[in-house]
Structure 1
Amino acid sequence: MKKLWAVVALSLILMAGCSSNTSKEARPTDPEGLYKLSCLGCHGANLEGVAGPPVTNMASKYSEEELLKLINEGVGIMPGGLFSEEEALTVTKWLLEK
């Protein structure tokens, strides 16, 4: 039972670190700024992956629709709903170019 609580606690810590959109500053509108706000903590400054997987060469792995769904809904410990629909599309298109 203690292991279960440790896993739950670690998951919550990782999820909190992946989303840093608690800032009182104006929300960025550019794709890189949005990435830095909500994705950088887990996917790294250079898209290399840290707590989460690398997000390079996404166009070879996903279609625009698939990646947009993944960003909107989340997967595994990656939370969904971090972006508005418009922001998610902006980040999706940007990642597909990287």
Structure 2
Amino acid sequence: MKKFVILAAGIALLTGCGSGSSPLSGPAETVMIYRTNCLNCHGSELQGRMDEQSNLQQVGQRMSQEDIAAKITAGGNLMPPFAERLTPEEIDQLAAWLAEKK
């Protein structure tokens, strides 16, 4: 029985050691800002839930950090503005993190 438990634990550890990382990996505070404010429309894997533009998995390829910050601040299309919900620092932090998604 002990061998089975050790084998199962080893398999569980190896399964978690994949080469890919979650799209939500990053600074804990930034990820929390995303989860609290963005997850409903942009998804748990940044895949987007509204339309093609809501997919953020490679948003850094199509938008600069400044453009991302402006979009978060002012909103547009289906996205509401977050200027009154997030601080400028939180917006900059989120925009920098998203700009790295390429």
Q: Same fold (TM over 0.5)?
A: yes
Could you say what the CA RMSD is over the residues aligned between the two structures, in angstroms? 1.4
Match of 1:93 among 86, 93, 96: 96
| Larger relative strand fraction | 1
- 1:77 shift after superposition: 2.0
How many equivalent residue pairs? Answer: 70
- 1:51 shift after superposition: 2.5
Structure 1's unaligned 5+ residue stretches are 1-28
- 1:84 shift after superposition: 1.0
Structure 2's unaligned 5+ residue stretches are 1-27
Give 4+ residue runs of structure 1 displaced > 6 Å after superposition. Answer: none
2:49 matched to 1:50?
yes
TM norm structure 2: 0.63
What percent identity do the matched residue pairs reach?
A: 29
Please tell me whether the aligned partners of residues 41 and 50 of structure 2 are also in contact (alpha carbons under 8 angstroms).
yes
> What CA distance in whole angstroms lies between the structure 2 residues aligned with 1:79 and 1:89?
17
Please tell me whether the aligned partners of residues 30 and 97 of structure 2 are also in contact (alpha carbons under 8 angstroms).
yes
Amino acid at match of 1:41: N
Amino acid at match of 2:96: K
2:77 matched to 1:68?
no
